[in-house]
């Protein structure tokens, strides 16, 4: 049961001119489920991505990077993305690379372009060969139902252990031109590397120069998908792709312009929404926690402390139990690895409740106040370091019995 | 229910000449439980320790460090250790320091020495004032039952959420002289910072020069207590103390001598035994896992990878479920932060089963073989990096429903 996450409404997911989506039931691992998605792009589109830093980076991720680089060199644009669930094509060596390339080749022949103009993505079981024949066999079905208003189906097609599809839209008017942005996401970055890589795709109809899009995708990932954690694990296949179809009138060719800033704000906002949906649907999640660390000497140390709190199984189980066992948060701050942290200046708040003052219990803190906040389904933990002006935010969920059940039982 | 951890037998815990142990039921937090321990040392004793690196380092840890330093300066030896459970005296600011000092002063008056010759330790709830009057009131009872053969009671006196006392003895003959070593440990380094700091005390009757003991305590901790993890959290109060009473004939005044090596081997062996007991009694543990990373370029990277596997909730839940979901181990290796790791050379074994070969699934690997090993209560995960000759080992346990129950329910 996801935390405060209503189902998306298909009619509210706005088509983005220049991108069509088609899905198939290819039977990659199980029959009768949408498990193959093709996103076909206008030739005017630019594409940029950020990928997992896991050294066991999956074959499709390696091929994606190579094809993005090739597109930059040749000027031949990326024409389609193809995503399968049910198999991650990770830990599969040379054969895995060959299968990812075969997937691209098959789709390129159907779409009339080069294999290097296709980006492949896979999510599912690690260490097993990709059933590339079934994926190829499903492609004609996916191509046959390519439509611009297929976003809800697209969101369903990339689900693995997600309990519901994740998608959102927004629009922004810049220089009198309305830009539409729609995105989908799935799985939790590391809730489950075998069946739930984190994937995010955000398309917009602005025309964005490649170097600008490269900059924007990093900025957006850094402020959204890189700020979430379920259990601290990092998948072999995590990817976030930003697509600018170029179908609308607005052109953004430089950063540090008003157009860039307005567009970036919309992209970052939508990316945060898609990223937070993943946390809200985190395995076994019953609470959504925002961890904000302020007054740091730099962003890096704020983020380290926020992640240290967000990864602590002790903190996460206390939140599950609605138990204001707040010494656990202080302990997690203390072992975050900030060697010169002066804890005697530190303040800690739970929503509006001032819990720890100058490193110790706030004399005015009442356990009943902590208890009141802990019972909520949305909680903000705020830490003030009194070291500077930097800040960072991380979103996470609690650790429940269901997390253990889901992860212990899923393959059995 | 601890994993393959028989109760210690009191008669097998050998007295160490030069150290007497006395306990009391001081009612620090709960009535009718042993919660205060005094260890009285011969004036010939040397003492060395390693402490938590948590920045929220508890008041008693700060006082311990200061008193150890003072003893070095003044030559006035440490005469006693005093340990209370029920309250960690952490996150307590100046008042906490005053309470730790008051504890030392009270015991020093009873024993006829300076307050600076006492080392205080506390474990229990964070953020609450230490009930120092109850501790003082319990001291005469503890002193009245000081005995050299009180190790089993001592082990019970420092328990918090431990399901059983942890203690062991061994002896070693060096240069014809028999040295006796006995130790106790408790709690799991970070199973539960509120009620279960990791504490370890190891006493031996050899005479060891202070610089040699300082060296030895670090070496022993590095190969034992620093190699265990339950959930990756680090407490505010973790401490490991090595005591050499000087009552036996053997003197060790230098490292790199045969005497040092023989003594170190015994100390390290016993430290490992005491550390592993903590993991075997880890909260909710059903399996004991040894993670060995070999053929690394250096020990640091081997340890990073071993900890990355040992901290992964996904790996730990898979072991709980006896599910050979081994892609999770590869993913944890991949995100350990070794930037130049060539996964195509990596091999992975579960006990005698060769699971991953050159970074991919071993063609000869059968799931039934993995399943057979996963069903055991003791499992070795072995990773070979093919990068060098360094190695490191980490001991950990699985992550079960009971871990969540214990940590979610304990304060409620």
Helix (H) or strand (E) run with residue B24 in it:
strand B19-24
| Number of other CB atoms surrounding residue B357 within 10 Å | 17
Nearest 5°: the CA angle A160, A197, A12 is 60
What tokens appear for B43 in the block?
Answer: 């004036």
Q: Is residue B191 part of a domain?
A: yes
Instruction: Tell me, yes or no, whether A311 and A242 share the same domain.
Output: no
Instruction: Tell me, yes or no, whether B29 and B129 share the same domain.
Output: yes
User: Using CB atoms, which residue from A193, A328, A341 is nearest to B193?
Assistant: A328
Mean pLDDT of B67-90: 95
Mean pLDDT of A296-318: 91
> In this predicted structure, what is the pLDDT of residue B188?
60
Between CA A265 and CA A269 the distance in angstroms is: 6
pLDDT in tens, B142-160: 999 999 999 999 999 999 8
pLDDT in tens, A204-220: 999 999 999 999 999 99
Helix (H) or strand (E) run with residue B202 in it:
strand B199-204
User: Using CB atoms, which residue from B56, B332, B334 is nearest to A343?
Assistant: B56
Between CA B223 and CA B229 the distance in angstroms is: 13
Instruction: Determine whether A274 is exposed, middle or buried from the number of CB atoms within 10 Å of its CB (0-12, 13-18, 19+).
Output: buried
Measured in angstroms, the CA of A232 and the nearest CA of chain B are apart by 8
Reply yes or no on whether the pLDDT at A288 is more than 80.
Answer: yes
> In this predicted structure, what is the pLDDT of residue B234?
67
Q: Is residue A152 part of a domain?
A: yes
- Contact residues, chain B, for A321 at CB < 8 Å: 407-409, 411-412
Mean pLDDT of A278-302: 93
Measured in angstroms, the CA of A349 and the nearest CA of chain B are apart by 15
Instruction: Tell me, yes or no, whether B257 and B321 share the same domain.
Output: no
Reply yes or no on whether the pLDDT at B370 is more than 60.
Answer: yes
The residues near B307 (Cβ < 8 Å, ≥ 6 apart) are B229, B232, B336, B394
User: Using CB atoms, which residue from B233, B236, B401 is nearest to A313?
Assistant: B233
pLDDT in tens, B282-308: 878 899 999 999 999 999 999 999 998
Nearest Cα neighbor of A80 from A169, A179, A203, A184 is A203
Nearest Cα neighbor of A36 from A111, A122, A113, A101 is A122
Alpha helices in B180-230 (DSSP H): 210-222
> In this predicted structure, what is the pLDDT of residue B111?
98
Task: Encode burial over A305-338: b for 16+ CB neighbours within 10 A, e otherwise.
Answer: bbbbbbbbbbbbbbbbbbbbbbbbbbbbbbbbeb
| Number of other CB atoms surrounding residue A410 within 10 Å | 18
Instruction: Tell me, yes or no, whether B276 and B296 share the same domain.
Output: no
Helix (H) or strand (E) run with residue A23 in it:
strand A19-24
Terminal Cα-to-Cα distance of chain B (whole angstroms):
22
Instruction: Determine whether B7 is exposed, middle or buried from the number of CB atoms within 10 Å of its CB (0-12, 13-18, 19+).
Output: exposed
Mean pLDDT of B310-328: 85
Between CA B28 and CA B44 the distance in angstroms is: 32
Instruction: Tell me, yes or no, whether A218 and A345 share the same domain.
Output: no
Which of A276-280, A326-330, B219-223, B250-254 is predicted with the least confidence, judged by mean pLDDT? A326-330
Q: Is residue B341 part of a domain?
A: yes
Instruction: Tell me, yes or no, whether B266 and B296 share the same domain.
Output: no
Measured in angstroms, the CA of B126 and the nearest CA of chain A are apart by 5
Who has greater pLDDT, B54 or A178?
Answer: A178
**Overall number of domains in chain A:** 2
Residue B125 at interface with chain A, using a CB cutoff of 8 Å: yes
Reply yes or no on whether the pLDDT at A1 is more than 80.
Answer: no
On whether the CB atoms of residues A190 and A234 are closer than 8 A, the answer is: yes
Catalytic residue, chosen from A103, A197, A229, A236, is A197
User: Do A408 and B326 lie within an 8 Å CB cutoff?
Assistant: no
Instruction: Tell me, yes or no, whether A206 and A84 share the same domain.
Output: yes
On whether the CB atoms of residues B350 and B324 are closer than 8 A, the answer is: yes
- Contact residues, chain A, for B192 at CB < 8 Å: 314
Per-residue CA distances from A224 to A174, A220, A262, A274, A312 (Å): 22, 6, 17, 8, 20
User: Do B404 and A320 lie within an 8 Å CB cutoff?
Assistant: yes
Between CA A238 and CA A191 the distance in angstroms is: 11
Q: Is residue B3 part of a domain?
A: no
Mean pLDDT of A108-114: 98
pLDDT in tens, B167-218: 999 999 999 999 999 999 997 644 433 335 789 999 999 999 999 999 999 9
The most confident of A304-313, A351-360, B76-85, by mean pLDDT = B76-85
Instruction: Tell me, yes or no, whether B257 and B312 share the same domain.
Output: no
Which strands form A19-24's sheet, in the order they lie side by side? A19-24, A36-41, A80-87, A118-125
> In this predicted structure, what is the pLDDT of residue B205?
97
Residue B55, domain extent: 10-280
pLDDT in tens, A145-177: 999 999 999 999 999 888 899 999 999 999 999
Between CA B179 and CA B269 the distance in angstroms is: 14
Between CA B352 and CA A156 the distance in angstroms is: 42
For B230, phi then psi, to 5°, come to: -105, -55
User: Do A332 and B411 lie within an 8 Å CB cutoff?
Assistant: no
pLDDT in tens, B27-50: 999 999 999 999 999 999 999 999
On whether the CB atoms of residues B16 and B182 are closer than 8 A, the answer is: yes
Helix (H) or strand (E) run with residue B263 in it:
helix B258-280
Instruction: Tell me, yes or no, whether B404 and B311 share the same domain.
Output: yes
CA A229, chain centre distance (Å): 10
- Contact residues, chain A, for B357 at CB < 8 Å: none
Per-residue CA distances from A307 to A284, A316, A327, B144, B233 (Å): 19, 12, 17, 49, 12
On whether the CB atoms of residues B143 and B111 are closer than 8 A, the answer is: yes
Between CA A142 and CA A153 the distance in angstroms is: 11
The residues near A311 (Cβ < 8 Å, ≥ 6 apart) are A229, A231, A232, A332, A396, B232
Between CA B162 and CA B156 the distance in angstroms is: 9
How do beta strands A251-252 and A207-208 pair?
parallel
What ipTM is given for this predicted complex? 0.76
Domain boundary among A250, A280, A310: A280
Number of residues that make up chain B: 412
Residue A89 at interface with chain B, using a CB cutoff of 8 Å: no
Which of A309-313, B309-313, B323-327, B365-369 is predicted with the least confidence, judged by mean pLDDT? B323-327
| Average model confidence (pLDDT) across chain B | 91
User: Do A231 and B193 lie within an 8 Å CB cutoff?
Assistant: no
What is the domain-level CATH number for residue A164?
A: 3.60.70.12
Per-residue CA distances from B363 to A236, B90, B357, B360, B366 (Å): 21, 53, 8, 9, 8
Instruction: Tell me, yes or no, whether B148 and B54 share the same domain.
Output: yes
Residue of A nearest to B58 (CA): A331
pLDDT in tens, A15-38: 999 999 999 999 999 999 999 999
Nearest Cα neighbor of B62 from B37, B20, B99 is B99
Give percent of chain A with pLDDT exceeding 90: 73
Which of A90-94, A100-104, B323-327 is predicted with the least confidence, judged by mean pLDDT? B323-327
Instruction: Tell me, yes or no, whether B244 and B345 share the same domain.
Output: no
Per-residue CA distances from A13 to A35, A144, A154, A241, A265 (Å): 20, 21, 11, 18, 19
Between CA B58 and CA A126 the distance in angstroms is: 44
> In this predicted structure, what is the pLDDT of residue A411?
47
Q: Helix, strand, coil shares of chain A as percentages rounded to 5?
A: 35, 25, 35
Who has greater pLDDT, B389 or B198?
Answer: B389
| Average model confidence (pLDDT) across chain A | 91
User: Do B127 and A327 lie within an 8 Å CB cutoff?
Assistant: yes
User: Do A327 and B361 lie within an 8 Å CB cutoff?
Assistant: no
**Residue A232 binned pLDDT confidence (cut-offs 50, 70, 90):** low
Instruction: Tell me, yes or no, whether A113 and A35 share the same domain.
Output: yes
Domain boundary among B262, B280, B298: B280
CA B269, chain centre distance (Å): 13
Reply yes or no on whether the pLDDT at A293 is more than 90.
Answer: yes
Measured in angstroms, the CA of B213 and the nearest CA of chain A are apart by 26
Between CA B260 and CA B255 the distance in angstroms is: 6
> In this predicted structure, what is the pLDDT of residue A234?
67
User: Do A360 and B318 lie within an 8 Å CB cutoff?
Assistant: no
**Residue A194 binned pLDDT confidence (cut-offs 50, 70, 90):** very low
Residue A57 at interface with chain B, using a CB cutoff of 8 Å: yes
Reply yes or no on whether the pLDDT at B232 is more than 80.
Answer: no
On whether the CB atoms of residues B210 and B69 are closer than 8 A, the answer is: no
The torsion defined by the Cα of A105, A109, A111 and A114, in degrees rounded to 10, comes to: 60
Nearest Cα neighbor of B67 from B36, B107, B25, B31 is B107
Q: Is residue B5 part of a domain?
A: no
Nearest Cα neighbor of B217 from B207, B225, B227, B205 is B225
Say which residue the tokens 């952490």 belong to: B90
> In this predicted structure, what is the pLDDT of residue B198?
87
Between CA A159 and CA A196 the distance in angstroms is: 8
> In this predicted structure, what is the pLDDT of residue B313?
83
Residue A130 at interface with chain B, using a CB cutoff of 8 Å: no
Q: Is residue A3 part of a domain?
A: no
What is the domain-level CATH number for residue A403?
A: 3.10.20.340
- Contact residues, chain B, for A90 at CB < 8 Å: 327, 330
On whether the CB atoms of residues B395 and B281 are closer than 8 A, the answer is: no
Alpha helices in B11-163 (DSSP H): 59-74, 93-111, 132-144, 151-157
**Distinct helix (H) and strand (E) counts, chain B:** 11, 18
Q: Is residue B24 part of a domain?
A: yes
> In this predicted structure, what is the pLDDT of residue B189?
43
Q: Is residue B2 part of a domain?
A: no
Domain boundary among B255, B280, B305: B280
On whether the CB atoms of residues A88 and A186 are closer than 8 A, the answer is: no
> In this predicted structure, what is the pLDDT of residue B272?
95
């Amino acid at each position: 049961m996801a935390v405060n996450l209503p189902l998306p409404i298909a009619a509210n997911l706005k088509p983005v001119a220049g991108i069509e989506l088609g899905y198939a039931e290819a039977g990659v691992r199980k029959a009768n489920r949408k498990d193959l998605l093709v996103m076909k792009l206008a030739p005017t589109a630019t594409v940029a991505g950020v990928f997992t830093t896991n050294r066991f980076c999956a074959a499709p991720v390696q091929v994606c990077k190579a094809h993005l680089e090739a597109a930059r060199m040749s000027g031949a644009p990326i024409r389609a993305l193809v995503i399968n669930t049910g198999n991650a094509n990770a830990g599969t060596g040379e054969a895995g690379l060959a299968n990812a390339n075969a997937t691209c080749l098959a789709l390129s022949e159907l779409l009339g372009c080069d294999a290097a103009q296709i980006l492949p993505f896979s999510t599912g079981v690690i260490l097993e060969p990709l059933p590339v024949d079934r994926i190829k066999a499903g492609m004609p079905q996916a191509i046959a139902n390519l439509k611009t208003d297929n976003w809800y189906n697209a969101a369903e097609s990339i689900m693995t252990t997600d309990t519901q599809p994740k998608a959102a839209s927004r629009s922004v008017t810049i220089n009198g031109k309305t830009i539409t942005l729609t995105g989908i996401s799935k799985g939790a970055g590391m809730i489950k590397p075998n069946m739930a890589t984190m994937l995010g795709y955000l398309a917009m109809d602005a025309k964005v120069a490649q170097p600008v899009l490269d900059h924007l995708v990093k900025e957006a990932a850094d402020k959204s998908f890189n700020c979430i954690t379920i259990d601290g694990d990092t998948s072999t296949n995590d990817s976030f792709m930003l697509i600018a179809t170029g179908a609308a009138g607005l052109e953004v060719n430089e950063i540090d312009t008003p157009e860039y800033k307005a567009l970036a704000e919309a992209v970052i906002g939508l990316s945060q929404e898609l990223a937070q949906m993943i946390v809200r649907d985190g395995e076994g999640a019953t609470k959504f926690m925002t961890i904000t660390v302020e007054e740091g000497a730099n962003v890096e140390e704020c983020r380290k402390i926020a992640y240290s709190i967000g990864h602590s199984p002790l903190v996460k189980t206390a939140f599950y139990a609605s138990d204001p066992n707040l010494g656990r948060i202080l302990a997690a701050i203390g072992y975050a690895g900030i060697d010169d942290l002066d804890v005697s200046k530190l303040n800690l708040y739970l929503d509006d409740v001032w819990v720890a003052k100058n490193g110790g219990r706030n004399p005015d803190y009442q356990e009943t106040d902590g208890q009141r906040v802990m019972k909520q389904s949305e909680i903000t933990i705020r830490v003030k370091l009194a070291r500077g002006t930097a800040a960072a935010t991380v979103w996470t969920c609690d650790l429940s019995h269901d997390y253990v059940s889901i992860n212990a039982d899923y393959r059995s």
